[in-house]
Amino acid sequence: MSKLEKALEKAKQTRDTGTDADTVVSGRPAPAGPVCLDPDYVHTRICKLDEASMQKEGLLSPYCHPVIMEQFNLVKSKLIDRMNPDGYRSLLVASPKQDDGKTLTAVNLAISLTRDKTRTVMLIDTDFRRPSVTGYFGIEDGRGLYDHLSESVPLSELLINPGIPRLTILPAGTIKDHPADFLSGPAMHSFVTEVKKRYTDRFIIFDSPPLLAFSDGFELSSYVDGVLMVIRSQKTTSEDLKHALEILKGRRIFGTILNRVSKNGLPIKDYKKYYK
């Protein structure tokens, strides 16, 4: 094979797997110390950030309540503290039942992680039962992971940057049938292996369906370094939580988040009155 043919072949492989092709960091020499990442998205589809939708959906933004921002800062810091020493980079956001707040937590955590300019995040919608990650960003549903697994659609055609620097989304895609079979199958296995190998520095967050309703959450937990468990205030019972933790027995739990605490339960109510 000539040099040109080899180069073309390499470019084709890169394109087909979506690897390297997703983001290209500007070609400046890397300075010493933490590197601020501001990737140029070459192949990733870039969507315009819909700030009105972000606000409506309760996403972290300059307009959200500062206490919520601070709570996510705390969650992020504690999580990094737990993950960094061991080089962990992937996590599953799970909860016992539906509507506990998994997706909103996964999305806000992803946004929070990207606010430090040294970090890039990939948020993967592995909830094939009720996909909703793109909806939170006001992006229409389209092809995604399911299409990659079932029809080998290249990742480079599926990844989306929702207008937030350093954040890449992989939507769930057009789900046909037997989602659980896909999650435990060889295609999913090689997808996860490839993504982890290719993006060693990137935080990878998986969203999931309720643990008590489907086996998907358990399947997905085998691909990640650990699980973040969401508990819904005033709704998740201790029995639900016990059952969910039994399902995940043997898996690493990074921590739990108590979601939907009432306003009266917030640590500081009149934040703006006392602090800058």
Residues near Mg ion (CB under 5 A) are 102-103
CB nearer to Mg ion: pick between 102 and 148:
102
Selected binder of ligand ATP within 132, 134, 156, 168 (CB under 6 A): 132
Classify 264 as helix, strand or coil: helix
DSSP helix, strand, coil percent of the chain (3-state; round to 5) = 40, 15, 45
CB nearer to ligand ATP: pick between 56 and 117:
56
Q: Does 168 bind ligand ATP (CB under 6 A)?
A: no
Number of C-beta neighbours around residue 122 at 10 A? 22
Residue type, position 184, single letter: S
> CB of 276: closest distance to ligand ATP in angstroms?
25
Contact at 8 Å (CB) between 25 and 39?
yes
| CA gap 211, 208 in Å, rounded | 8
Residue nearest to Mg ion (CB): 103
Contact at 8 Å (CB) between 161 and 137?
no
Concatenating the DSSP letter of every residue in 173-228 gives ----S-HHHHHHSHHHHHHHHHHHHHTTTSEEEEE---TTT-SHHHHHHTTSSEEE
Q: Does 58 bind ligand ATP (CB under 6 A)?
A: yes
Window contacting ligand ATP (CB under 6 A); options: 3-11, 16-24, 83-91, 94-102? 94-102
Q: Does 101 bind ligand ATP (CB under 6 A)?
A: yes
Binding partner at 215 among ligand ATP, Mg ion, none, C-beta below 5 to 8 Å by kind? none
CB nearer to Mg ion: pick between 97 and 102:
102
Q: Does 127 bind ligand ATP (CB under 6 A)?
A: yes
Give the binding site for ligand ATP (CB under 6 A).
58, 95, 98-104, 127, 130, 132, 209-210, 259-260
